[in-house]
Structure 1
Amino acid sequence: MAIITVLGVAAAIAMAVIGSGALGGTAVAEAAGGALSADATPLAPAGTAFSIWSVIYAGLAAYALWQLTPTARASERQRVLRPWAILSAFLNAGWLFTVQFDALWLSVIVIVALLAVLIRIMYILGRPRTGGVIELILTDGTFGLYFGWVLAATFANTWATLSAAGVTALEEIPLGVVGIVVAGVVAAVAALLDGGRIAPALATSWGLAWIAVARTGGRFESDTLVWTAAAAAAVVLLIAVVRRVTVARTNQPAA
């Protein structure tokens, strides 16, 4: 299964690169009539936000290669995780192709399925680690960023799809504020439930922060949206840190 993981993740990453338009063709921001561009809805992050995918893909590649090591092969945690990791990579690639074919509603279904798979992965990561710092970085770090970013992206994707379908109310500033607040609340709840993992909170805060940046100009320029998104980003990260510290203190052995 370790070799299958390497081949599967490599194939999925290659498909994702092709689907993103990085090797030619239509970029995601320009596909589907620009529905997912940085200026399409009040919840759309600035284009720079998507640079997080470089880190996630690099982490997935390193994670897959690490599966070939004796430590990973002997890990029950990794054995359970591998099929879900492969599935997440292929769902991500599939999402990119749905956008390229202008199938926005299908893209929502796929990204929700991807989010569900990543939630399952985060649950699996609650099992004891045996690979030390390397496993912490390559597994918990990579999939934590992956989950946190997809959580934010699910809101942006759904908002864009509904807006493109003619629900113009979602393009109003008040509902934009509501969308950002709801995304922040969901991310905060996730941080509380997962014991304050920093990587997911960091990725979601990254997305929210770039929503704030995008709202400093363009079609949906709004100080209200800027400050709401910036505050949501800060609160999500703060809650994760506080929760992490609380859990660490609780698990600390008594003197």
Structure 2
Amino acid sequence: MIADRPTTADRIRQVGVTVSEVACVFGTLVGTGVIGTRVAESSGGSLSAEATHLAPAGPAFSIWSVIYLGLLAYTVWQWLPSQATSPRHRAIGWLVAASMLLNAAWLLVTQVNLIAVSVGVIIALLAVLVATNGRLLRHAPSGTADAVITDGTLGLYLGWVTVATCANVAAALGAHGWRPTGLLADVLAVAVLAVAALVGVGLARWARGGAGPGRWGIALALAWGLAWIAVGRTASDPHSLPAAIAAGLGALVVLGSTWAVGRGVDRHPDGLRPDGRKGAPVTSRP
């Protein structure tokens, strides 16, 4: 049951999320070149759209605008009186704050050419987002607005960072002199893209008991990233038809599996889960 009045811990958490949002905005201003160097131009160009076989084409990064707006909306949302003592915000608030701080940290370390450090930061960010979305699966949204703002935003965040992690690792390897070419480069790219698609399938099944916006947020962001990798490998260097085909097919597999999982959930409206067990995966409601 939700407490009538926010506790001191609730207020501290709300302030912590807000301060982290401010830090995230600062990092964004640095990363977009407003008060720093654009990410694509930092770290000696290792993170540009033409750096590796796994680099998405430039327009792919516009998804950050949606994610950042969603994080801003979440920051405001968690301050509303109806949300202040919500069990789900108590469960995820500090994790969301940590994700925003890690986001800012990633942008800052790439500014000073610490590309190897950026890999550690983005892996930590990915782990935090997995934990955050996992907690959302255990706490149902209070309504449509909560599902869209909270689950939708954090789903997009997780899906995109999954793709970005692959690209970041490839960029770091390239920056440190490991740049496979020819057939080897194609084979490795296809293998990584296949794994990314399988991860997308796994995430769809994992998130099947959660809110639709969260499940689809993960899938759409992951498919978006894969699709723009396909575009990048056909429209600019390094050209790779095998990588482009693998990325395009991967995007379709992720979307198709998410749709199939959604249909399975819809067919069990009486609390019977898709795996045949009774009881909804979500165990708590605010």
Say whether residues 1:72 and 2:90 are aligned partners. no
Structure-1 residue corresponding to 2:222: 204
Superposed displacement of residue 130, structure 1: 4.7
Q: Does structure 1 retain, via aligned residues, the 8 Å contact 2:17–2:93?
A: no
Structure-1 residue corresponding to 2:115: 104
Q: Aligned pairs, how many?
A: 254
2:60 to 40, 43, 49: 49
Say whether residues 1:222 and 2:240 are aligned partners. yes
**1-structure distance, mates of 2:176, 2:269:** 49
Find the structure with the greater CA-based Rg.
2
Say whether residues 1:14 and 2:32 are aligned partners. no
Superposed displacement of residue 253, structure 1: 5.6
Q: Does structure 2 retain, via aligned residues, the 8 Å contact 1:119–1:147?
A: yes
> TM-score, normalised to structure 2's length?
0.84
Query: CA 1:170–1:87 in 2, change beyond 3 Å: closer, same or farther?
Result: farther
Superposed, 1:138-217 pairs within 5 Å as 138-169=149-180, 172-195=185-208, 197-217=215-235
Q: Which has the higher helix share?
A: 1
Structure-1 residue corresponding to 2:275: none
Q: Which runs of 5+ in 1 are unaligned?
A: none
User: Taking every aligned residue pair, what percent have the same amino acid on both sides?
Assistant: 41
Query: CA 1:233–1:76 in 2, change beyond 3 Å: closer, same or farther?
Result: same
Query: CA 1:130–1:158 in 2, change beyond 3 Å: closer, same or farther?
Result: closer
Say whether residues 1:33 and 2:41 are aligned partners. no
Superposed, 1:84-99 pairs within 5 Å as 84-99=95-110
2:265 to 240, 243, 247: 247
One-letter identity of the residue aligned with 2:235: G
Q: Which runs of 5+ in 2 are unaligned?
A: 1-10, 210-214, 273-286
**1-structure distance, mates of 2:103, 2:45:** 19
One-letter identity of the residue aligned with 2:218: P
Q: How far does the alpha carbon of each residue in 1:56-93 deviate from its partner, in whole angstroms, 9 at most, with x for none?
A: 00000011101111221131111111111100000000
Q: Does structure 1 retain, via aligned residues, the 8 Å contact 2:160–2:222?
A: yes
One-letter identity of the residue aligned with 1:115: L
Helix, strand or coil at the partner of 2:267: helix
**2-structure distance, mates of 1:214, 1:168:** 17
**2-structure distance, mates of 1:79, 1:253:** 26
Of 158-167 and 139-148, deviating more is 158-167
Structure-1 residue corresponding to 2:253: 235
